[in-house]
Chains A and B, each alone.
Chain A
Amino acid sequence: MAKRAKKDTWVEIYKIVLEKGERAPQVPNDTQQVPLEMKVKGFLVQDAAVGKEAEIITPAGRRIKGRLLEINPAYTHMFGRPIPELSPIAGEIRAILRERRNAS
């Protein structure tokens, strides 16, 4: 059974703003082939199930309807692993400065 969320829970909803046939004429081909999609977060107006129609009130006070995507969605952007192509730069630059200071 789909997960349900209570009224007033912080959630994210999803909807399609423009279907692929409705895209602006100046949009390049690859973008024409996909819809314009939207995600917005807010507090649920009524209890709702994930994947079903839901209504939210956003922090700006707007009411928006869409498909309930996620309950209390996480921020998942991160630093990730160090980049091996960047890691040696510190040592290289310090060596250039050291050499210059030793020479003078």
Chain B
Amino acid sequence: MSTDSYKAIMDQKAEIMRSSVGINYEKYTTGVLSFDYEAMLNDTGYDLDATRDIQGRSAVGDTPLVELKNLTELVRAVSEPGKGARLFVKDEAANPSGSFKDRRASLSAFEAKKKGYKGIAAATSGNYGAAVASQAAKAGLGCIIVQEAFDSKKIAQPEIAEKTRACEAYGAEVVRLSVGPELFYYFLIILKETGYFNASLYTPYSILGIETLGYELAMQVKAREGRFPDVVVATHAGGGNVTGTTRGLIKAGAADTLMVAASVDLSGLHMASDRDFNRKSFTTGHTGFSVPFSTWPDRVDVPRNAARSLRYMDRFVTVTQGEVFYMTEALAVIEGMERGPAGNTSLAAAFAIAREMDREQIIIVQETEYTGAGKHPLGQLNLAKQMGIDVRRGDPRENQPGKAIVIPEHPSQIKPVEMDLDRIRRSYLRNALDSLPEGEKATEKDLEFLAADTKSTQDYVRDVVNELIRTRFLGGKV
């Protein structure tokens, strides 16, 4: 077997990860499944003030909060009298590389520099790559970004092609791979070869970096309106955005603000399929990430994921591809803000949720992202047509990921679909049960942890677990 064979490298995963992240994760273990989440975050030494200071020095954060008065009027045009909340957006496109991901990259770059790493690397096909490359450029660090970029017919996903260009513009090496989760295998080879810092999306640095977003928006609303927002909507993929933003809201004192996670529905498409790769029309913010990451956050490149979205979300909704493209168009033509499509997932959800709310209430879309060639509805929809996807106007309920993108005919047709949080919690607990090592029994500490991790109670966890065990026993699986 060659020293770089798939198995040989994957067997060294734990060791490579430890030296590339510099965190001793085992230290935080408290039970069979549980770990001390807060201690893991606190031990980094980056509290909110320190993070704000570091980000301020690299031009990250302090982005404008924009009231979307025309969109609010459009909401009210399709709402019952007295309904239609005020809609605001945090214009995160104003960050150096054009998205909130700069917040996530900033602490990793700072930490890597402080600890004497020569460079930083990240496995990412999205905005995060550009953010890491941009922060590395400022810090004088080497940078390697590994992307899943093209299918076996060599057709590049246009949004990822734009990220390739952006990363190269910031002076990074960009490794472009075809479709498949073995991207992680090649990423490990790079970390082993270069000794670079792993700017994983799921380390404490990446999550603490987003707390400033939630904190800023709460304080901006407070300063302007004398109170905190009622609802914040965040585009949900791996869970970092929801986790970091809510933690920041809580630190600002806005603990009663509701957090709504929103994803584009890509059900039916397989995330590791070569065929489906260029039929998704979205590269992030979709259910292909958000559902598996909500139901089992530790499926990532680090032993303990600091992004634990189920702890923080109050509601989880999906919107269709066509609804997001419609809202992207609306944002440009009545608000004069041309912003990338993926970040507008939360905008599409917020538009519909605002209709249910009272006029006096405030709802915040917590990010925008830059737009450009490829990273744009035109690039995505031209590719979709080329791939044989039916793009048409109609009822968004007829949208079928990979087959039909249905653009609404009227804003009143935009209606998010509720994800059943009880089902998500049960699915999480099933995964927790599956990960119990043979012969081990969960402890009181585990119960406490699982309740916190699912934003439920110990009684709830006990009931669901007992039910799962009973069902399995009856099904003959135990």
Segment touching B, from A1-9, A46-54, A89-97: A89-97
Please tell me if the beta carbons of A24 and B73 are within 8 angstroms of each other in the complex: no
Report yes or no: B270 in contact with A28, Cβ–Cβ below 8 A: yes
Whether B19 is near chain A, meaning CB under 8 Å from some CB there, is: no
Does B382 touch A at the CB level, under 8 Å? yes
Contact between A36 and B182 (Cβ–Cβ < 8 Å)?
Answer: yes
Known: A90-B333, A93-B334. A24 touches B176 (CB 8 A): no
Mark each residue of chain A from 24 to 58: 1 if its CB lies under 8 Å from any CB of chain B, else 0.
10111011011111111110000000000000001
Residues in chain A near residue B119, CB distance under 8 A: 60
Quick one: which of A17, A38, A89 contacts B329, CB cutoff 8 A?
A: A89
Given contacts A17-B182, A38-B177, A94-B334, contact A83 B374 (CB under 8 A): no
Determine the main DSSP class of B at the interface with A.
Answer: mixed
Interface residues of A in 59-77 (CB under 8 A from B): 59-62, 75-77
B residues 154-182 touching A (CB-CB < 8 Å):
156, 158, 161-162, 164-165, 168, 171-182
- Contact-residue bracket for chain A: 35 or more
Contact of B180 among A23, A58, A77, A83 (CB under 8 A): A23
In the assembly, what is the distance between CA of A21 and CA of B173, in Å?
A: 28
Chain B residues in contact with chain A, CB under 8 A?
A: 5-6, 70, 73-74, 76-78, 119, 142-144, 149-150, 152, 156, 158, 161-162, 164-165, 168, 171-182, 185-186, 190, 193-194, 270, 272-275, 325-326, 329-330, 333-334, 373-374, 376-379, 381-382, 391-393, 407, 410-411
Contact B179 A85 (CB under 8 A): no
Cα distance, A77 to B349, chains bound together (Å)? 29
Is the Cβ of A60 less than 8 Å from the Cβ of B172?
yes
B182 touches A27 (CB 8 A): yes
Sample of 6 more A-B contacts, CB < 8 Å, known A41-B173, A78-B379, A85-B391: A58-B144, A59-B143, A60-B144, A83-B378, A93-B334, A100-B77
Select one of A18, A39, A83, A99 contacting B382, CB under 8 A. A83
The smallest beta-carbon distance between B283 and chain A, in angstroms, is: 13
* Pair A58/B6 contact, Cβ less than 8 Å: no
A82-B376 Cα distance, complex, nearest whole Å: 11
Sample (20) of A-B pairs whose CB atoms are under 8 Å apart? A28-B273, A31-B274, A34-B274, A36-B177, A36-B182, A36-B186, A38-B177, A42-B173, A60-B119, A60-B144, A60-B173, A77-B162, A78-B373, A79-B378, A79-B382, A83-B377, A86-B378, A90-B333, A96-B411, A100-B73
